[in-house]
């Protein structure tokens, strides 16, 4: 009986020693339910497992929840995390907490969204959202051919860097004069006949598209900030019988979005790679833990154009590849 | 009497003034087609606002309305799509889910005597979490036609009118009748006006309050059906905008946040004001930031008017 107790205690002792030797990496996402972040977490867990690290994850409660992320950060510091990967909900408000962590010698890497200022985190691994916009802008221009463009942009909401980068990148790719990537305001152009905000959701995307169609029924190109708003825009176009005569483009590359490309609802989408962000983050974290070497600057985690129909002069991947690489329910 | 008229006619005049303004700024505004679009766009918030009006009439507020609606939509669509449940049963289940939340709100308010603001703040989060977990944060697509028929339109005088919009108008008619012509309706006002006085006159205040929150829950379920019909999907992220917009509609419509006075039809006016501004400003090419600005100003104007008319009435000698 006593022998068995000693045996059990020895096992517990051994496993906690083993756990203590296992480095801890923390991952804090914006929310825990958005399929983009679910995929990121899965990628991070897999990468951590193969590298021999322990991953602890946390998140904000919803998009924009800074306090939840601050709490998660503090908990991870207490849990002994040496590296923290974070997709900030609020690029400015999270900075003091990140500075505290870095002052303790913890490596903090921003994934997907930058901190403001960018160098408040040790490094940034993210999609080049300007480039994502440029790809779909070039596709739309080529697909439209010689016709006169009448563009509607279904945007996020005012002041958000990702919303501005995708929008302005789209204008640039389309061949219009556009603000540079660092600008946070939306560029305008004479070919853009309507700009409306969707807040990234499907219902408001539908409302925005309906109102734009009322303003100008001859819209033939629609840029959307993400695939849910594109789905809403498509519903509005279909209600007016315009779904075949309008080129609808979007960003994200989620599985539902790629299915919409396959069905013809969306002409092309720029796919981004949350798993790549997680893998690079874990790899950089392990390098820091083993050698003390810190990553720095911005690393582009890649974006590809997914389209059902190829157009001349614009490289794109097909829908099958898109489905292989997508995030969400396949 | 003059004070009450001010509170009710004010928003209606504001709506008419807004329509005239936008008609002058864009020749596409005052078309049958455009107005029918606006009606479609407000039908979900409009129905939520019926439930919200009931709650606000009792001097309460329901912060969970949009999230509960979203839950109802997910329940309906997931059951119909994944469990192949017949459409009518799926709809009933969705409404039962939202009614259940309404009942929970009502029980917490009446039996635990917690402030409605706090209770519904809690159920807002619970409903949101359940919706996200149950749906796995995925939108439910390929929804059977039965769930979306209310999103179909019929031709009326050169433009298409969506069936759902008619349902909204019918629900308003029913609510207006019930609140003004039935004893139960009178009791709602009495409880909001003076709960202790109502209780002393023999009104079962607890039952009235419970009934109000339960009915509000049913409204959110009906709104969920309209939302699914309009978008064609079950969206776990639907309802977030509607949450505050429904309260805005009720307040801007002229119903007093302090309870006991207001008309449910005013909430339709309030919802239309928000929809008209959103549509009109887009037609004018104005940034949506200004919609927020306008909305905020309208809310403050509405509450200030309500306070002003209350003080007028008190000075007038007793009629509140």
**CATH code, domain carrying A227:** 3.40.50.2300
Report the alpha-carbon distance of residue A156 to residue A162 in Å, rounded.
Answer: 9
Put simply, whether B124 touches A (Cβ < 8 Å) is no
- In a mutational test of the B interface, the residue from A61, A62, A239 whose CB has the highest number of chain B CBs within 10 Å is A239
Put simply, whether B155 touches A (Cβ < 8 Å) is no
A217 and A321 share one domain: yes
Report in angstroms the alpha-carbon separations of B239 from A116, A201, B48, B226.
30, 10, 10, 12
Q: What is the pLDDT of residue B320?
A: 47
Q: Which of B37, B133, B241 sits opposite A214 (nearest CB)?
A: B37
Residues of chain B positioned with their CB less than 8 A from the CB of A225: none
In a domain, A226, yes or no: yes
Compare all CA atoms of chain A with the CA of B227 and give the residue at the minimum distance: A203
A230 and A283 share one domain: no
Mention every residue, 6+ apart, whose C-beta is less than 8 A from residue A171: A133, A137, A177, A178, A187, A189, A192
**B105 pLDDT more than 70:** yes
Residues of chain A positioned with their CB less than 8 A from the CB of B232: 235
Mention every residue, 6+ apart, whose C-beta is less than 8 A from residue A328: A35, A36, A38, A39, A254, A255, A256, B138
What's the token pair of residue A314? 């614009």
A317 and A279 share one domain: no
Which stretch of DSSP H or E encloses residue A124? Answer: strand A123-126
Residues of chain A positioned with their CB less than 8 A from the CB of B238: 201-203
Q: Which of A61, A210, A235 sits opposite B41 (nearest CB)?
A: A210
Q: Which of A62, A196, A228 sits opposite B139 (nearest CB)?
A: A228
Residues of chain A positioned with their CB less than 8 A from the CB of B125: 61
Three-class DSSP category at A83: strand
Mean pLDDT, range A210-215, rounded to an integer: 97
Contact flag A207-B287 (C-beta cutoff 8 Å): no
A113 and A10 share one domain: yes
In a domain, A137, yes or no: yes
Report in angstroms the alpha-carbon separations of B23 from B30, B268, B274, B283.
6, 20, 16, 10
What's the token pair of residue A123? 């490094």
- Express each pLDDT in A157-207 by its tens digit: 887 888 999 999 999 999 999 999 888 889 999 999 999 999 899 999 999
How many Cβ atoms are within 10 Å of B8's Cβ, its own excluded? Answer: 18
State yes or no: ipTM above 0.95. Answer: no
Report the alpha-carbon distance of residue B176 to residue B265 in Å, rounded.
Answer: 7
In a domain, A246, yes or no: yes
Mention every residue, 6+ apart, whose C-beta is less than 8 A from residue B191: B58, B198, B203, B205, B208, B209, B259
In a domain, A248, yes or no: yes
Question: In sequence order, what DSSP letters do the residues of B234-263 get, joined into one string?
Answer: B-TTTTHHHHHHHHHHHHHHT--TTSS---
Q: What does pLDDT average to over chain B?
A: 92
A80 and A113 share one domain: yes
Helices (H), B86-204: 87-110, 116-135, 145-148, 163-181, 183-193, 195-200
In a domain, A219, yes or no: yes
A-to-B residue pairs, Cβ atoms closer than 8 angstroms: 83
Give the predicted TM-score (pTM) of the model: 0.88
A207 and A123 share one domain: no
- Express each pLDDT in A88-142 by its tens digit: 988 889 999 999 999 999 999 999 988 988 899 999 999 999 999 999 999 999 9
In a domain, A149, yes or no: yes
Contact flag B133-A33 (C-beta cutoff 8 Å): yes
Strand partners, B292: none
Give A107 to chain B, closest Cα distance, Å. 31
Put simply, whether B233 touches A (Cβ < 8 Å) is yes
- Express each pLDDT in B250-271 by its tens digit: 999 989 888 998 999 999 999 9
What is the longest distance spanned by two Cα atoms in chain A?
87
Q: What is the pLDDT of residue A17?
A: 52
Report the alpha-carbon distance of residue B313 to residue B318 in Å, rounded.
Answer: 7
Give B66 to chain A, closest Cα distance, Å. 13
Give the strand pairing for A268-272 and A221-224.
unpaired
Residues of chain B positioned with their CB less than 8 A from the CB of A195: 285, 287
Mean pLDDT, range A149-155, rounded to an integer: 97
Mean pLDDT, range B44-66, rounded to an integer: 97
Q: What is the pLDDT of residue B117?
A: 96
A93 and A76 share one domain: yes
Q: What is the pLDDT of residue A5?
A: 62
Give B280 to chain A, closest Cα distance, Å. 8
Mean pLDDT, range B103-108, rounded to an integer: 97
Q: What is the pLDDT of residue A62?
A: 78
Report the alpha-carbon distance of residue A166 to residue A250 in Å, rounded.
Answer: 9
Mean pLDDT, range B274-297, rounded to an integer: 89
Residue A254 phi, psi (nearest 5)? -75, 160
- pLDDT confidence bin for B294, thresholds 50/70/90: confident
Domain B27-309 has CATH 2.40.390: no
Q: Which of A14-18, A48-52, A134-138, B299-303 has the lowest mean pLDDT?
A: A14-18
Put simply, whether B123 touches A (Cβ < 8 Å) is no
Q: Which of A33, A207, A228 sits opposite B41 (nearest CB)?
A: A207
**B60 pLDDT more than 70:** yes
Question: In sequence order, what DSSP letters do the residues of B2-26 get, joined into one string?
Answer: HHHHHHHHHHHHHHHHHHHHHHHH-
Contact flag B138-A35 (C-beta cutoff 8 Å): yes
Contact flag A206-B231 (C-beta cutoff 8 Å): yes
Domain interval for residue A152: 129-272+305-325
- Express each pLDDT in A283-302 by its tens digit: 999 999 999 999 999 999 99
Cβ proximity of A45 and A280 under 8 Å: no
What's the token pair of residue B224? 């969920």
Q: What is the pLDDT of residue B45?
A: 97
Cβ proximity of A186 and A155 under 8 Å: yes
Mean pLDDT, range A246-261, rounded to an integer: 96
Block residue for tokens 């099958």: A320
Cα dihedral value B255, B257, B260, B265, nearest 10: 20
Domain count, chain A: 2
Mean pLDDT, range A268-292, rounded to an integer: 96
């Amino acid at each position: 009986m006593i022998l068995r107790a000693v045996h059990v205690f020895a096992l517990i002792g051994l496993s906690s020693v083993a756990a203590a030797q296992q480095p801890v990496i923390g991952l804090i996402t914006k929310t825990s339910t958005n399929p983009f972040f679910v995929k990121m977490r899965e990628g991070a867990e897999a990468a951590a497992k193969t590298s021999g690290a322990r991953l602890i994850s946390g998140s904000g409660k919803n998009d924009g929840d800074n306090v939840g992320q601050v709490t998660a950060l503090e908990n991870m510091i207490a849990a002994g995390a040496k590296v923290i990967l974070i997709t900030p909900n609020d690029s400015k408000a999270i900075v003091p907490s990140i500075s505290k962590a870095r002052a303790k010698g913890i490596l903090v890497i921003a994934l997907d969204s930058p901190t403001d200022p960018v160098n408040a985190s040790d490094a940034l691994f993210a999609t080049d959202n300007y480039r994502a916009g440029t790809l779909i802008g070039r596709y739309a221009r080529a697909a439209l051919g010689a016709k006169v463009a009448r563009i509607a942009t279904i945007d996020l909401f005012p002041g958000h860097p990702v919303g501005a980068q995708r929008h302005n990148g789209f204008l640039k790719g389309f061949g219009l004069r556009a603000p540079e990537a660092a600008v946070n305001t939306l560029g305008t152009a004479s070919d853009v006949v309507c700009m409306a905000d969707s807040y990234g959701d499907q219902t408001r995307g539908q409302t925005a598209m309906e109102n734009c169609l009322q303003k100008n029924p001859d819209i033939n190109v629609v840029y959307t900030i993400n695939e849910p708003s594109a789905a809403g825009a498509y519903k509005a176009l279909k209600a007016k019988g315009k779904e075949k005569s309008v080129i609808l483009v979007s960003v994200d590359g989620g599985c539902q979005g790629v299915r919409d490309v396959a069905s013809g609802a969306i002409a092309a989408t720029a796919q981004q790679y949350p798993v790549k962000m997680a893998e690079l983050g874990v790899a950089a974290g392990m390098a820091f833990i083993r050698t003390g070497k810190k990553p720095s600057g911005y690393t582009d985690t890649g974006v590809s154009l997914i389209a059902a129909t190829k157009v001349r002069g614009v490289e794109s991947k097909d829908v099958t590849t898109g489905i292989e690489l997508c995030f969400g329910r396949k | 009497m003059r004070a009450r008229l001010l509170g009710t006619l004010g928003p209606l005049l504001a709506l008419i003034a807004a329509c005239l303004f936008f008609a002058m700024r864009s020749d596409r505004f005052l078309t049958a087609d455009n107005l029918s679009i606006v009606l479609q766009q407000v039908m979900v918030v409009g129905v939520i606002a019926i439930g919200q009006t009931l709650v606000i009439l009792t001097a309460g507020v329901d912060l969970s309305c949009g999230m509960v609606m979203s839950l109802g939509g997910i329940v309906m669509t997931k059951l119909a799509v994944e469990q192949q449940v017949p459409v009518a049963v799926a709809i009933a289940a969705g409404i039962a889910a939202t009614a259940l939340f309404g009942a929970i709100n009502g029980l917490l308010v009446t039996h635990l005597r917690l402030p409605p603001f706090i209770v519904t703040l809690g159920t807002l989060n619970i409903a949101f979490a359940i919706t996200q977990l149950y749906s796995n944060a995925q939108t439910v697509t390929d929804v059977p036609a039965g769930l979306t028929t209310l999103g179909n339109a019929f031709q009326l005088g050169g433009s298409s009118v969506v069936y759902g919009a008619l349902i909204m108008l019918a629900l308003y008619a029913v609510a207006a009748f019930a609140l003004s012509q039935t004893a139960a309706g009178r009791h709602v006002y009495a409880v909001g006006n003076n709960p202790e006085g109502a209780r002393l006159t023999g009104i079962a205040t607890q039952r009235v309050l419970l009934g109000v929150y339960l009915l509000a829950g049913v409204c959110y379920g009906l709104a969920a059906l309209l939302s699914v019909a309009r978008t064609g999907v079950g969206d776990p992220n639907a309802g977030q905008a509607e949450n505050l917009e429904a309260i805005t509609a009720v307040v801007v419509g002229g119903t007093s946040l302090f309870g006991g006075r207001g008309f449910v039809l005013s909430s339709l006016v309030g919802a239309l004001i928000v929809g008209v501004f959103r549509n009109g400003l887009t037609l004018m090419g104005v940034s949506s930031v200004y919609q927020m600005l306008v909305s905020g100003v309208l809310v403050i104007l509405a509450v200030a008017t309500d306070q002003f008319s209350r003080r007028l009435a008190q000075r007038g000698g007793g009629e509140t």
